[in-house]
């Protein structure tokens, strides 16, 4: 598979666009449901794998654009626990994309200050994908401009199940009062403990559901849905989502 290593734009936004933003209200953490890859390919009479690859290429641009406006973490729903039910051919192609993507983008991530992380159960993924992820994570460990967190073999219900298993196992080893199991305590056993909860969730392709993604963490996130298919989602679309976010009155249940 050929991989593009073309240099990325030095700037995604005009100065006037950046000046129009309220820097105080830049969300620190955005979550992405990157929907529409297969539909994008079907509309062009291409195999679905081409849509997935174009979607992967789109992600790195969005992460760089997000860094430019001041986001600190981007969590991208890349492969769900339910995606294993797709055809063996498509799953195999996706695994190949993950491995190629992680290996080919490693140098770019280091150069651009992108620290790689992951949520989900890594162990079910092919060893080659696990190795590629761990190598990229290690290579980008000192990066601090922005975090790219890939949700791989991830499902929110499975995450909560695993968190409960950790808590039960910990209590078996070191009994503690049940009153200590607070919301904050549970959050410290979730996959996202390092990055916290998203402020904004963006879903492409016009679907209004969260699809077993970050069910705990999205409790108070703002949700932005666009009809744009993920491979066509651009920095301008990201800016539109950010402008919409900044117009909202975030009450967080307090009033």
**Which pLDDT value is given to residue 7?**
46
Strands 200-203 and 146-154: unpaired
Between 17 and 5, whose confidence is greater? 17
The pTM (predicted TM-score) of the whole model is 0.92
The answer to whether the CB of 198 falls within 8 A of the CB of 31 is yes
The answer to whether the CB of 115 falls within 8 A of the CB of 143 is yes
In this predicted model, what pLDDT tens digit does every residue of 70-79 receive, in sequence order? 999 999 999 9
Domain-by-domain residue ranges, the chain?
A: 25-155+198-247
**Which pLDDT value is given to residue 24?**
85
Cα(31)–Cα(20) distance, rounded to whole angstroms? Answer: 23
Pick the CATH number of 25-155+198-247 from 3.40.50.880, 3.40.1180.10, 3.30.499.10, 3.40.190.10: 3.40.1180.10
In this predicted model, what pLDDT tens digit does every residue of 70-110 receive, in sequence order? 999 999 999 999 999 999 999 999 999 999 999 999 999 99
What percent of the chain lies above the pLDDT cut of 70?
A: 94
The single residue of 2, 6, 22, 35 carrying the catalytic annotation is 35
In this predicted model, what pLDDT tens digit does every residue of 199-218 receive, in sequence order? 999 999 999 999 999 999 99
The single residue of 83, 121, 158, 232 carrying the catalytic annotation is 83
**Which pLDDT value is given to residue 252?**
64
Residue 191 annotated among the catalytic residues of the structure: no
**Which pLDDT value is given to residue 2?**
43
**Which pLDDT value is given to residue 63?**
98
Residue 2 annotated among the catalytic residues of the structure: no
**Which pLDDT value is given to residue 5?**
44
**Which pLDDT value is given to residue 4?**
44
The least confident of 69-73, 156-160, 170-174 is 170-174
Q: Angle CA(240)–CA(211)–CA(83) in degrees, nearest 5? A: 115
Confidence label for 40 from pLDDT (cuts 50, 70 and 90): very high
The whole-chain average pLDDT of the chain stands at 93
| 3-state per-residue secondary structure call for 106-153 | HHHHHHHCEEEEEECCHHHCCHHHHHHHHHHHHHCCCCCCEEEEEEEE
């Amino acid at each position: 598979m050929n991989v593009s290593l073309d240099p990325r734009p030095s700037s995604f936004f005009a100065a006037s666009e950046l000046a129009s933003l309220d820097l105080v209200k830049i969300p620190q953490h955005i979550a992405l449901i990157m929907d529409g890859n297969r539909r994008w390919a079907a509309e062009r009479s291409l195999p679905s794998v081409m849509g997935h690859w174009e979607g992967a290429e789109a992600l790195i641009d969005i992460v760089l654009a997000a860094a430019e406006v001041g986001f600190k973490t981007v969590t991208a729903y890349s492969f769900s626990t339910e995606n294993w039910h797709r055809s063996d051919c498509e799953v195999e192609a996706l695994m190949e994309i993950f491995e190629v993507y992680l290996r080919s983008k490693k140098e770019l991530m280091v150069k651009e200050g992108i620290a790689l992380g992951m949520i989900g159960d890594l162990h079910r993924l092919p060893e080659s994908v696990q190795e590629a992820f761990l190598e990229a994570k290690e290579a980008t460990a000192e990066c601090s401009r922005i975090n790219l967190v890939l949700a791989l073999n991830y499902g929110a219900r499975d995450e909560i199940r695993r968190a409960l298993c950790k808590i039960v196992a910990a209590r078996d080893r070191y009994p503690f009062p049940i009153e200590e199991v607070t919301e904050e305590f549970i959050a410290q056993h979730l996959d996202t403990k390092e990055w916290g909860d998203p402020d904004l969730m963006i879903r492409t392709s016009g679907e209004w559901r969260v699809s077993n993604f970050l069910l705990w963490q999205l409790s108070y996130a703002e949700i932005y849905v666009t009809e744009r298919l993920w491979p066509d989602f651009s920095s301008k679309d990201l800016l539109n989502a950010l402008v919409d976010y900044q117009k909202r009155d975030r009450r967080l249940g307090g009033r």
